Structure 1
Amino acid sequence: MKKFFLFITCISLLASCIEEVDLGIEADDEVLKILIIEATLTNELKNHTVALSRMDTLVDLGIDSVYNPYTPIRDINRDLVRYETNATVSIENSNGTTYSFNESSPGIYESDIQFAAEMGNSYQLSIVTSDGKKYTSTDMEIEGLASISNIYAEKTTSESGAEGIGIFVDNTVETGNVQNLRYTYDETYKIIAPNWVPNDFKLTNYDPCALPVVTYDLEIIEREEEQQICYGNNLSNSIIQARQSNLGKDNIKKFMVRFIDKQNFIISHRYSIEVTQLVSGSTSYSFYDQLNNFSQTGSIFSQVQPGFLEGNLSSDDGRQGSVIGFFDVVSVSKNRLFFNYSDFYADEELPPYPFNCSELTAPESHDSFCLSGPRGPNPCPQSVIQQVDLNLISYVKPNVNEGRCQGPHIFVPKICGDCTVLGSNVEPAFWVE
């Protein structure tokens, strides 16, 4: 949700380049004071969380995750969010019970005890920031209960004409007003490194500045951890909503939650997806629908003046435009699905690996970095010991035909021989082959 807000703000700051959009924000310093609240209370018995942060003018807080074989791997989860710390957070229900939250990590507040939202009770979120300002939500309650009765995958074609696999759900209405639904998913997939071998480089005693020549010890040893089979994970990053007809009395049938192109490598081997269905209210549906519209290509640049995105949270001092977010109270149903690529495309080649894994070679060593005197440009690739030191490559086999600018080893970019570049080597507890 934060990225949508950031996108809206950045567009407003580019008024000299595009048509002005009135977001109800007066100035840049006021933008940076806006409190962003992310909180969803469910009927699951657990420790619930509330996330607090401040608006930023960055277009995207994510770190570029495109793999570059010539630079060290960066931590793409490095956090640049301006979290709001040292706040007092609580939720009170209509019976007078108050649930307190403590800051478990910067800007993330977790309830002291496990509890679940109950149908028939209303709930209000209260926040007091470190500067003494108070924010509260309107009273919210669970509208109804519905379960995912079936989850399944089928070959289908996207709106753009791409072939692939659709993830579909059916549901069953149980009780209450089940009209507005929101879906999220958590997908996990097996990764097999295409150029994995049981051995790898080990570099020790490396001194690139030693004189007269570089000193180092380079060994080919057995790998010390699992690096052939890993498990990648993605969370849904779009707003997926549906509305049931006939005031929620009719069950939803064959609603597509996810489309995966048949050339997407995440389904190459084994794939699993857990879909979560949230039964929400009309105000929640409207809020997320507006948020989704703001994020669509072209909508920000249209003639429509959307105004400030309104949720169900407000400042107790009555100041408009000082908080963005939505406190939702929903019922939840979850279901998980597994499948293999061969289940749908038995006689076809697997989707391509997400990187070109050509075998490479290079001189094992290099001139000392601290040699004095003029030196011409080096026409050869970066040496093996430099690349091993930067954790850029994986060993494949000996090079039996050494030539100019070659060395005694054949190797590949790290991503091709070590699956931990793309995922975790720990098998998830829920995984089933």
Structure 2
Amino acid sequence: MSRYFNLSILALLILCTTGCSEVYYPKVISDNELLVVDGLITNASGPFVIKLSKAVKYGSGSVSSPDPVSNAKLTIFDNNGSYPLQETSQGEYTTPPSFVTKIGNSYKLQIQTEDGYMYESDPQQLPAPQSYDSIKSYYTTEKILDSDKSLLTLTGADVRIDLLNSSSDKIKCRFTTNLTVQYRYSIPPVTPYGSIDATDISYCTGYLCHGWATNLSIENNVNITDEISTSANNSISNHKIGFIPFSIAGYQADQDLKFVPSVAYLYFYLKINQYTLNDATYAFYKAAKGQLNASGKIFDPIASQLYSNIKCTNNPSKTVLGFFEASSVVNTAFFIRQGDNSVLINKVPTVKIPPNTLVENKYWACESLPPKDFYLGNLPYPSWWGHGVL
């Protein structure tokens, strides 16, 4: 077994941060301080941020926070010139306003660290974006683990897409997701004797609640399209994006949903990021997926250090982790809710969702008129709530 087993997983998890909400930095066996590069540029509007850190050494106390690499000089080169990046926070380097990507151009990352080492990536061509042709969702049940590692069978939406391609190029795509769970519920009035006393204002109010928790993901590990061996038909049908449970029990691991009643009515706002990959990037994610999907069987792939497209030019024996990626992206969003043994799904605009929150308002539930200063009416939902569809 290679001594770089942990390093291979580290390189993968760093690169998956575009779709995940938490990064895991495993301990490595090597005593060397290895540079980790987390870099992604797309056809979208910048600026883009490239992160540098050091691999966490074996025996260190931390497995969840990076050791940022500061005071480095980063430059991106393309067909038209060079663009120096600026360190905007520790270990994070941002592209200048003048840096605008163009489909078909090639991009190369150069890094000079404070200790004098020079690093350079292979040129990465930015491919044209490949968008999905149709999206569908099936009403089904799946088994998932809750926060206590108990196996639950839950009803939900199995989200899938079709990709059609009339050209001779193979479809090479990667998908990440961001799910917002919207919920609403009410807390009814309570009296000491189990009935409402219309003359006692202190027992005549309940609460209407609504809230949302975002930054959840539904894809499993590395979600890439399967490689097609024949060129006769480049279409990909029924590619699975992920599963959305319709029960609050499927989201118990999220602290903001922990105390939501099980009777809460749930809505879902799903963002899908579809990255079109060049050959080198696809090969990297394919290898990463193979390692993460290994289950310990005799013919499973042997874990090894994942290929990096970045090399140390003044010390070729120095190992580098991570990958400098140039991929085009298409972002789409959908509003989803449960129907009668069905899934209702509709495409909606992509919007920026505020951080997790809960809104509560008192409501009047007595037979007599409420106090003059009492709020009566519907809760003020955000303008994006449900997008007014379905």
Per-residue Cα deviation, 1:37-61 (whole angstroms, up to 9, x for no partner)? 1111111122111111111147984
Residue 106 of structure 1 corresponds to 90
The answer to whether 1:325 aligns with 2:322 is yes
Which position in structure 1 is the counterpart of 2:177? Answer: 185
Q: Which range moves more in the overlay, 118-127 or 264-273? A: 264-273
Post-superposition shift, 1:229? Answer: 2.2
Structure number, greater radius of gyration: 1
Task: Indicate the residue corresponding to 1:354 in structure 2.
Answer: none
Preserved contact between residue 187 and residue 233 of structure 1 (Cα < 8 Å): yes
CA distance in 2, matches of 1:144, 1:175: 12
Distance across 2 between alignment mates of 1:289 and 1:428? 40
Separation (CA, whole Å) in 2 of partners of 1:248 and 1:119 = 26
Could you tell me which residue of structure 2 aligns to residue 122 of structure 1?
A: 106
Matches of 2:227 and 2:298, distance apart in 1: 31
Q: RMSD of the TM alignment (CA)?
A: 4.0
Secondary structure of 2:129's aligned partner = strand
Aligned pair 1:241/2:233, yes or no? no
The Cα shift of 1:127 comes to 1.2
* 1:44–1:248 CA distance, 2 compared to 1 (3 A): farther
Task: Please say if 1:84 is aligned against 2:69.
Answer: yes
Does 2:31 correspond to 1:29?
yes
The residue number in structure 2 matching 1:293 is 290
Q: Describe how 1:159-308 pairs up with structure 2 within 5 A.
A: 163-173=155-165, 177-192=169-184, 228-236=209-217, 238-243=221-226, 245=228, 246-247=230-231, 250-265=234-249, 268-296=265-293, 298-299=295-296, 305-308=302-305
Q: CA deviation at 1:327?
A: 1.1
1:54 to 1:26, Cα distance in 2 relative to 1, 3 A: closer
CA apart distance, 1:28: 3.5
Q: 2: distance between equivalents of 1:173 and 1:151?
A: 15
* Contact 1:244-1:250 within 8 A present in 2 as well: no
Structure 2 SS opposite 1:167: strand
Kept in 1: contact 2:8–2:305 (CA 8 A): no
- Aligned-partner SS, 1:146: coil
Residue by residue over 1:341-385, the C-alpha shift from the partner in whole angstroms, topping out at 9 and shown as x without a partner, is: 346469xxxxxxxxxxxxxxxxxxxxxxxxxxxxxxxxxxxxxxx
Gapped regions of structure 1 (runs ≥ 5): 10-24, 63-79, 198-219, 221-225, 347-393, 397-424
Tell me how far 1:320 sits from its aligned partner: 3.3
Q: Structure 1 residues 303 and 228 mapped into 2: Cα distance closer, same or farther (>3 Å)?
A: closer
Alpha-carbon shift at residue 110 of structure 1 (Å): 1.2
Aligned to 2:387: 432
Cα 1:228–1:105 change in 2 (3 A) is farther
CA distance in 2, matches of 1:34, 1:141: 26
Q: Does 1:45 align with 2:45?
A: yes
Distance 1:303 1:187, change over 3 A: closer
Contact 2:294 2:300 in 1 (8 A): no
On the 8 A contact 1:47/1:114 being kept in 2, the answer is: no
- Asked if the contact 1:6/1:59 (under 8 Å) is kept, the reply is no
1:144 aligns to what SS in structure 2? coil
Contact 1:146–1:178 (CA under 8 A) maintained in structure 2: no
CA contact (8 A) 1:45 1:114 kept: no
Deviation of the 1:100 alpha carbon: 2.1
Give the 3-state SS of the residue equivalent to 1:28 in structure 2.
coil
1:107/1:301 CA distance change after superposition, 3 Å: farther
Which residue of 2 is the match for residue 151 of structure 1? 135
Amino acid at match of 1:239: V
Alpha-carbon deviation of 1:253? 2.6
- The answer to whether the 8 Å contact 1:117/1:329 transfers is no
Query: How far has the Cα of 1:328 moved from its partner?
Result: 1.4
Range with greater deviation from structure 2 (155-164 or 312-321)? 155-164
Q: Distance in 2 between matches of 1:293 and 1:162?
A: 28
Letter in 2 for 1:241: I
SS at match of 1:145: coil
SS in structure 2 opposite 1:292?
A: helix
CA distance in 2, matches of 1:428, 1:178: 41
The one-letter code sitting in structure 1 at the alignment partner of 2:110 is S
CA contact (8 A) 1:44 1:115 kept: no
Q: How many residues align?
A: 294
How many angstroms does 1:261 deviate by? 3.4
Q: Would you say the 8 A contact 1:153–1:167 is kept in 2?
A: yes
Distance 1:48 1:344, change over 3 A: farther
Distance 2:70 2:383 in 1: 32
How far does the alpha carbon of each residue in 1:253-304 deviate from its partner, in whole angstroms, 9 at most, with x for none?
3211111234355595110111111111222122112223333464599885
Q: 1:295–1:26: structure 2 CA closer, same or farther, 3 Å change rule?
A: closer
- Aligned mates of 2:174, 2:300 — CA distance in 1: 28
Amino acid at match of 1:164: G
Query: Measured at CA, do residues 340 and 234 of structure 1 come closer, stay the same or move farther in structure 2, by a change above 3 Å?
Result: same
Evaluate the alpha carbon distance shift between residue 191 and residue 430 of structure 1 in structure 2; reply closer, same or farther with a 3 A threshold: closer
Residue identity matched to 1:292: K
CA distance in 1, matches of 2:232, 2:45: 25
TM-score between both structures, scaled by the size of structure 2: 0.63
Contact 1:192 1:228 in 2 (8 A): yes
Question: Where does residue 79 of structure 2 map in the other structure?
Answer: 94
SS at match of 2:237: coil
Which residue does the alignment assign to 2:306?
309
CA distance in 1, matches of 2:76, 2:321: 18
Q: What secondary structure sits across from 1:228 in the alignment?
A: strand
Which segments of 5 or more consecutive residues in structure 2 lack a partner in the other structure? Answer: 11-26, 145-152, 190-201, 252-263, 344-359, 363-379
Shift of the 137–7 alpha-carbon distance from structure 1 to 2, 3 Å rule, reads: closer
8 A Cα contact 2:106 2:124, kept in partner: yes
CA distance in 2, matches of 1:241, 1:299: 22
